[in-house]
């Protein structure tokens, strides 16, 4: 009889276990409440900046050229105290004329430095394709102060310096 009672007990225990393992949620349970809606609207993703279109170049205007590529200093044989500054650079498009070195005023901070700006005159009709144009300019300086040790050439995007040999 004990074995019959133990068997019935085991069957009942298995039934209780099976009933307790029901993984389905009863229909009477309520669904979890969603998080409260924020009153602040979500920020839209940041837009990438639009590509910048180069501004139009006014015709027949003297402007600083795009870049200075090289500077070479030399002494003329007829005047050993004079100096010739030869500069090559790049204009933003074809058709630029009258390249020259325009002397920049001394700012008084460094008397050993003399600065020039590489400028040229823009074309009458702008080149829409903006094909860069090589450009060159020379200047002869007959009376360079003795304390000037460096010549600096400035463009719209860069500058190059060259030491003055005494």
Which whole number is the average pLDDT over 9-18? 58
Neighbours of 31 (CB within 10 A): 6
Distance between CA 138 and CA 76 in Å, rounded?
A: 13
Radius of gyration of the chain from its Cα atoms, rounded to whole angstroms: 41
**pLDDT-derived band of residue 37, with 50, 70 and 90 as boundaries?**
low
| Confidence (pLDDT) at 111 | 87
Q: According to the model, what pLDDT value does residue 115 have? A: 94
Domain range list for the chain: 62-160
Q: How confident is the model at residue 46 (pLDDT cuts 50, 70, 90)?
A: low
- Beta carbons of 94 and 76 less than 8 angstroms apart: no
What pLDDT is recorded for position 166?
A: 72
pLDDT at residue 137 greater than cutoff 80: yes
- Is the pTM higher than 0.75? The answer reads no
Taking residues 54-58, what's their average pLDDT?
70
């Amino acid at each position: 009889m004990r074995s019959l009672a133990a068997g019935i007990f085991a069957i009942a225990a298995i039934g209780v276990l099976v009933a307790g393992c029901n993984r389905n949620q009863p229909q009477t349970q309520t669904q979890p409440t969603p998080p409260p809606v924020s009153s602040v609207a979500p920020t839209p993703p940041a837009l990438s900046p639009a590509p910048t279109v180069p501004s139009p170049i006014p015709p027949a205007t003297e402007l600083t050229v795009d870049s200075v590529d090289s500077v070479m200093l030399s002494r003329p044989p007829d005047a050993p105290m004079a100096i010739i500054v030869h500069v090559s650079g790049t204009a933003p498009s074809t058709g630029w004329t009258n390249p020259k070195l325009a002397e920049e005023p001394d700012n008084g901070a460094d008397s050993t430095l003399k600065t020039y700006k590489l400028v040229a005159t823009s074309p009458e009709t702008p080149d829409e394709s903006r094909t860069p144009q090589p450009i060159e300019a020379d200047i002869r300086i007959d009376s360079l102060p003795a304390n000037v040790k460096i010549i600096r050439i400035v463009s719209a995007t860069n500058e190059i310096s060259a030491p003055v040999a005494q």
